[in-house]
Amino acid sequence: MTSLIDVIFLLLLFFMLSSTFSRFGQIELSLGGGGSSPAEGQDRFVLLRLNQAGLSINGQATGMEDARDRIAALQGDAPAHLVLSVGQDAGAQALADTLLALRGLAQTKLTVVN
């Protein structure tokens, strides 16, 4: 009986030390519009492509740390509509990092497509 209690305490200790107790962050995603199109010249569309090689903005490769500044420069004063195309080889962590990097851009809408 004593050895069974030892084994139970060892298993309890193992699972307590090997598990993580951190909270997972939530990223808010807005759904696409209901079929209405914006007025011409109102929104600027910026195409982002995420794949295993990294992130590209309007066809030009860029680093994750420079993405926000580059989009703000392309956006100017007009509202921007970001279209994020996620490749098959892009990982979930890369998508989460990209969404966190883009969070907080003023006057932007984000659409995530496959």
Instruction: Return per-residue pLDDT of the chain as tens, 114 residues.
Output: 678 999 999 999 999 888 876 666 666 666 555 555 545 556 678 888 888 888 888 888 888 778 888 887 877 777 788 888 888 888 888 888 888 887 777 778 888 887
Buried b (16+ CB within 10 A) or exposed e, 51-70: eeeebbbeeeebeeeebeeb
With vertex at residue 60, the alpha carbon angle to CA 83 and CA 46, rounded to the nearest 5 degrees, is 25
Residues with Cβ within 8 Å of 32's Cβ and at least 6 positions away in sequence, in order, are 111
In whole angstroms, what is the distance from residue 65 CA to residue 73 CA?
A: 14
Instruction: Provide the whole-model pTM.
Output: 0.57
Please report which helix (H) or strand (E) contains residue 44, including its range.
strand 44-51
